[in-house]
Amino acid sequence: MGVWPARVSIREVGLRDGLQSIATIVPTTQKCEWIAGAHRAGMREIEVGSFVPPRLLPQLADTAAVLTFAKTLPGLFASVLIPNLKGAERALEGKADLMILPLSASQAHSLANLRKAPDDVVAEMAQIRAARDASGSRTLIEGGIGTAFGCTIQGAVDEAEVLRLMQALLDAGADRVSLADTVGYADPASVRRLFEKALRIAGNRFSGGHFHDTRGLALANTVAALELGVTRFDASLAGIGGCPHAPGASGNATTEDLAFMLEAMGCRTGIDLRALLALRQHVVGWIPAEPTHGALWRAGLPKTFAGIQ
């Protein structure tokens, strides 16, 4: 059996993947409060927004301001999503620690959501890498491969195609690559199968996993990835975000439940769970109309819990 890693990073993506999927617009001051609270609770990686055109995602129109705030917090590694070269230029200007270029391995999903074929995104990665290098910036570039386990439009996504695109992104200059189960189609066996091959291709340039809990398997899938030595996982506080394809269903893995599982397992996250649960309650209060998810907040920590408290 695999040995679980001693240290694991959770990257909070609720401010991007979460907020972009709900109607409520959270004001900049509250976003900054969220980031400061997560940082106080021990989180050190936060995706603070997305440099997409504000007319497409008004919820994230303040990403530059939020990034500026995030950069004031010591030791915080702030990332942003970028849809293209233009977004990358804004991320470089804002001195993001990391910019994530999403690529959808499903041709159909890519055309429907990004209006580009996957290989066009690979070409954009090369331009972004050139721009980053020309700027002398230290901003890292991650290629985030979505619909890696299938897609609600085209159904199956060929594993070989996912791996081909991963290699292409690395060849085009991505510093890191990650795999996302955008629609909740993964299971522990498919995670083990695909991640094992991905690790062989990307080695220590493999960044981590982004699991959605649409069908309740986000944590089970995490266990399968942990066994392969994967040490970074995306999650959203209170599971904020939902799934656009399944009304009422969960979207991202829930940060506090994931952190609880990891800490209980002895995989250190650096997160103070009591502080994180208090932050959850605070943030949930800002979006009363939105569905939230997760189990730990109801039940509380076990009496036997030995993590940071």
Tell me the C-alpha distance between 225 and 196, whole Å. 9
Nearest-approach distance from CB 148 to its own copies, in angstroms: 12
Nearest-approach distance from CB 85 to its own copies, in angstroms: 33
Q: Return the number of the residue (81 or 157) whose C-beta is nearest its own copies.
A: 157
136: number of Cβ within 10 Å: 7
Nearest-approach distance from CB 201 to its own copies, in angstroms: 19
Helix (H, G, I), strand (E, B) or coil at 21: helix
| Cβ atoms of residues 127 and 174 within 8 Å | no
Q: Return the number of the residue (206 or 211) whose C-beta is nearest its own copies.
A: 211
Tell me the C-alpha distance between 229 and 242, whole Å. 28
Q: Return the number of the residue (74 or 248) whose C-beta is nearest its own copies.
A: 248
Nearest-approach distance from CB 116 to its own copies, in angstroms: 23
Look at residues 286, 303, 259, 307 and name the one whose alpha carbon lies nearest to residue 15.
286
Torsion angles phi and psi, residue 159, rounded to 5: -55, -40
* Residues that bind its own copies in the complex, under the rule CB under 8 A: 1-2, 4, 150-152, 155-156, 183-185, 187-190, 192, 213-217, 219-220, 222-224, 227-228, 243, 245-250, 254, 257, 260-261, 264-266, 294-296, 298-300, 302-304
Look at residues 295, 281, 214, 289 and name the one whose alpha carbon lies nearest to residue 34.
281
Which entry of 32, 151, 243, 267 is annotated as an active-site residue? 243
32 in active site: no
Q: Return the number of the residue (130 or 295) whose C-beta is nearest its own copies.
A: 295
Residue the block writes with tokens 């030791």: 75
Q: Return the number of the residue (87 or 150) whose C-beta is nearest its own copies.
A: 150
Nearest-approach distance from CB 74 to its own copies, in angstroms: 31
| Cβ atoms of residues 124 and 110 within 8 Å | no
- The alpha-helical segments, DSSP class H, found in the chain are 28-40, 63-70, 85-93, 107-113, 118-135, 159-171, 188-202, 218-226, 255-265, 273-286, 296-299
H-run or E-run covering 210: strand 206-211
Q: Return the number of the residue (84 or 231) whose C-beta is nearest its own copies.
A: 231
Nearest-approach distance from CB 150 to its own copies, in angstroms: 4
Q: Mind telling me the catalytic residues?
A: 243
